[in-house]
Structure 1
Amino acid sequence: MRPVVVVSITAALLVGLSGCSDHKEKREYTVPRALCGIPVDSEALTPFLPGGREVSVKQTMANMWGVSCQVRVDDRPAVLTSLWWTNQPNTAAYVGSQNNSKLDHRAEGGRFLYSGWEGFGETRNCTSKKLLGARLFTAFQMYSADHQDAGAMKRLVTEYTNAAEKTDTCTSGKPFPE
């Protein structure tokens, strides 16, 4: 009789533990459709956002060279995205200043560099004469790195960078307002 009790207790524990591991906090907010004025594919962004009740999107930094936008869920940082004018010749040089980056994927000949939790992109034909020929680059960095998906990150940074190319900032080459 004793082995049956042990098996029953073990089975109950396994069922209970598997139920706990599959439980994720429910997402009760609407995923943003734009970050720092740039449209973003909410379906591509969704997998990287944690569950929670409230989401906020706030511009956290702006100067003539760039703008950063932070997504917070229940007042915890979740995503940081940036647009930067820089005189770097390509995405790899731009990313060189990101000392924590471990970018193990590339697309379009290195125009996009990304991993499962961050991505960087180079816009096409976005230069600023006012900023000595600087070119516009994009960045995504996830704070809630529980979810890592290189394919989803590629889609996110590619679509965001392509959307940035359609903005007045790109087409006019204007520095960002301070």
Structure 2
Amino acid sequence: MPAALALGLVPFLLALAACGGDERDYTVPTSLCGTPVDSGLLEPLLPAGKEIGQETGFSGQEGPKQMCTVRVDGKAWLLTHGEWREGGYTALDAVRDRRGRGGEHAVDGGKIAYWDQGAATVVPCRSEKWKAQTFSVVVESVYRDGRKGDSDALKAFVESYGKAVAERLPCA
């Protein structure tokens, strides 16, 4: 009987050990590169892992392009990209500029656009300095191990994140 019990436990212990890789040992951040976020909306976009880190970047001569890269266990997992834009620039324009391969969709009256690995929104924000009327915000899953992104989670996050970004912008 003990041998049968031990044999019965082997599959259970193997399954339990396999689940260990599906745990999140880090705390989901409440900000991305200084911008407050709803960690509940961010959580479904992040994988299991041991460590999380963030890197801020800026570039561009026609206005600062603000970037934030979120890494889990050293792999770039989520990228945010913000850029000053002219009037009339749409969320679908932002997705097409980032992606440019087709498969893009607009929702919520065009306020949000998405594809299978990312989503965008555009917030009104006049800037005399950058000769801009809007600011585009794109959130992209950049490392997915061949898995399709969660479009609903991306749309919900980009809507909330776009509002948080807008509150921090120096709009005229």
State if a TM-score over 0.5 links the two structures: yes
For the Cα contact (< 8 Å) 1:116–1:153, is it kept in 2?
Answer: no
1:29-77 CA-partner distances (Å, limit 9, x unpaired)? 0111111322111111111211111100111334442110000011111
Alignment of 1:15-26 (within 5 A): 24-26=21-23
For the Cα contact (< 8 Å) 2:35–2:165, is it kept in 1?
Answer: yes
In structure 1, runs of 5+ residues without a counterpart are 1-13, 173-178
Task: Give the drift of 1:25.
Answer: 2.6
Q: For the residues of structure 1 that align with 2:143 and 2:93, how far apart are their CA atoms? A: 26
TM-score, structure 1 normalization: 0.75
Going from structure 1 to structure 2, the CA distance change for 1:96 and 1:104 (only over 3 Å counts) comes to: closer
Alignment of 1:91-102 (within 5 A): 91-100=91-100, 102=102
Alignment of 1:80-99 (within 5 A): 80-87=79-86, 89-99=89-99
Alignment of 1:1-178 (within 5 A): 24-63=21-60, 64-87=63-86, 89-100=89-100, 102-123=102-123, 125-145=124-144, 146=147, 148-167=149-168, 169-172=169-172
For the Cα contact (< 8 Å) 1:128–1:134, is it kept in 2?
Answer: yes
TM-score, structure 2 normalization: 0.77
Going from structure 1 to structure 2, the CA distance change for 1:108 and 1:131 (only over 3 Å counts) comes to: same
Q: For the residues of structure 2 that align with 1:23 and 1:116, how far apart are their CA atoms? A: 28
> Which moves more between the two structures, 60-69 or 131-140?
60-69
Going from structure 1 to structure 2, the CA distance change for 1:72 and 1:104 (only over 3 Å counts) comes to: same
1:11 alignment counterpart? none
Q: For the residues of structure 2 that align with 1:18 and 1:147, how far apart are their CA atoms? A: 25
Alignment partner of 2:129: what SS?
Answer: coil
1:121-162 CA-partner distances (Å, limit 9, x unpaired)? 011x31211111342010001023336222211110000111
1:176 alignment counterpart? none
Q: For the residues of structure 1 that align with 2:114 and 2:14, how far apart are their CA atoms? A: 34
For the Cα contact (< 8 Å) 2:84–2:132, is it kept in 1?
Answer: no
For the Cα contact (< 8 Å) 1:24–1:51, is it kept in 2?
Answer: yes
For the Cα contact (< 8 Å) 1:120–1:139, is it kept in 2?
Answer: yes
Q: CA RMSD in A?
A: 2.9
Q: Aligned residue pairs: how many?
A: 161
